[in-house]
Structure 1
Amino acid sequence: MSMTLPIDEVAEPLRGFKFAEVRGARHPQVHPAGKFWRRAYDHRQPATAVCHRRGHAAPSVECTCGFHAVQDLHTLPDVTEHHDHMVVLEVELGSTVIEHEQGLRGEQQTVLAMRFPVACTRCRRPATHLQPGRVWRSVCGACTGRDAVSRADATALFGVEVSFTAQAPKQSQRVMETVRGFSMVALMLVCTLCATKVSPPPAFMALMGGLTSMTLGLGAATAAARLPRTRESLFILQSVTLFLSSMLLIAITP
């Protein structure tokens, strides 16, 4: 995030939102999500930011330290990669605050509420419970395990209000990546069509058909993938198959 406004000492705390993960079955901790590596912190009490890399007062203009948040909940998926199990924290930032193009960085933070995904992470039905584990997840009644806890019990456990709310990731990016994946399929079909013009041997056409089928399967997997990293990995595999097909086509072209 690049700074656009000066450091500001705020008289009243600023309300913000951020993605986080809740980890640990026995002793759950909040781990903030984001581009930069962050340490877990105790969400039950107000916290003061510390720069563990440089040791200066946080937040600093020349660093990325401090508690990050955005003021508009709808912009959150645009600035932080989203995963289905992530929680939206509603926070207040106080004392020294730096405002950026994409959000805020504050010196003091108080967690007000936790918003878990409204859909079960296993079957996508409406969630009714939380499933503890390495990462806490929203689950429906049919997918609950023996140690699942209700929303009310989670509120008592975490010491802040826990709710289930919709927090869909940025859809435009997913749509574009899906279109990109099927565009690769179209390019593969063009390569295969061009290969038929030079009367290649049957073994060559069988190989091209296999690569085309692989690209089509990768495109379908891209459309179904939930995580951006998964879609990116599938696109790389599609690029490799297209490159191999292009090299084969060049090799048989007179």
Structure 2
Amino acid sequence: MRLRLPEERPTEPPTGYKIAHPVLSHDGARAGFTGVSLGGALPYGVLADASCVYGLRHTAPHRRCDCGFHCVHDLATAEALLCTAEHRSAALLEVSVLGRYIRFERGFRYARQRVRTATVGPCACGTVAAALADAGWGRPGWRALTPSCAGCVRGRTSLSLADFARLAGERLRVVAGAGNKIAGLDPPEGLGVPELTAEAALLQARLDWFQAQLARLGGQGPGGPPQG
């Protein structure tokens, strides 16, 4: 006799947590995410259906396959995944588990999901992220994005957090995180002299870069000779 797992019929979709890299389509018209493990080659939108990554025709998730979306039950478990070097620039996602799912000790494997909130980490320089910029790698047709402050964006393709949420659609909420604390989209209050000095230095570096680009293109930078 084959044992069957107990069926669950929740009144509301279960909540799960996972990490993924934000991505932007090559034409700049769509935004989404790409996973960090088995399904990483298949970017997905905020509201998406899973398919078998091995190309099999069964419905995901299948008991005898690894296909389907994956997430964990506990927020702290997902946050711990961000500690590894290859996942430092990934975003922390809060998702609604939709459709059929298989429950495991630490999480779900499931058929459909809606990403409700994406929390991005700080810029590589340590400043709270203000944008998502080209990370220098991607998938066919998609550019991976990494958190960046205004001073480190420079000339890279980038989106503000609000613009990424708008392109992704489905009422996605994107917030900037500082360490394990969600900082929101607004600048932190109560900055002291050292923090304000650092911000001013970043802005000056950004201005210097723009002036250098203008000079390279033959434009007239501040204090430079007039161009004939």
Give me the TM-score of the superposition, normalised by structure 2: 0.60
Structure 2: which 5+ residue stretches go unaligned?
A: 138-143, 181-228
Structure 1: which 5+ residue stretches go unaligned?
A: 169-254
Residue 58 of structure 1: how far off its partner (Å):
1.4
Residue 59 of structure 1: how far off its partner (Å):
1.1
State whether structure 2 residue 136 is matched by structure 1 residue 124.
Answer: no
Name the CA shift for 1:47/1:126 in 2 (closer, same or farther; >3 Å). closer
Mapped partners of 2:53, 2:149: distance in 1: 39
State whether structure 2 residue 166 is matched by structure 1 residue 165.
Answer: no
Does the residue aligned with 1:132 lie in a helix, a strand or coil? strand
Mapped partners of 1:77, 1:42: distance in 2: 21
Greater C-alpha Rg: 1
Name the CA shift for 1:13/1:85 in 2 (closer, same or farther; >3 Å). same
Percent identity reads 28
- Write 1 or 2 for the structure with the bigger share of strand: 2
Q: For the aligned residues, what is the CA RMSD?
A: 2.6
Residue 158 of structure 1: how far off its partner (Å):
2.2
**Counterpart among 137, 145, 157 of residue 146 in structure 2:** 137
- Write 1 or 2 for the structure with the bigger share of helix: 1
2:110 maps to which residue? 106
State whether structure 2 residue 42 is matched by structure 1 residue 30.
Answer: no
Query: Deviations for 1:62-109, whole angstroms, at most 9, x for unmatched residues?
Result: 221111111211011556856221011221112211111221111111
Mapped partners of 1:104, 1:87: distance in 2: 19
1:158 maps to amino acid? A
Q: How does 1:1-254 map to 2 (within 5 A)?
A: 6=6, 8-24=8-24, 26=26, 27=28, 28-34=31-37, 36-44=38-46, 46-53=47-54, 54-77=56-79, 83-117=87-121, 119-121=122-124, 123-133=125-135, 134=137, 135-146=144-155, 147-159=157-169, 160-166=172-178
Mapped partners of 1:103, 1:79: distance in 2: 14
2:72 maps to amino acid? V
Does the residue aligned with 1:59 lie in a helix, a strand or coil? coil
Mapped partners of 1:60, 1:104: distance in 2: 12
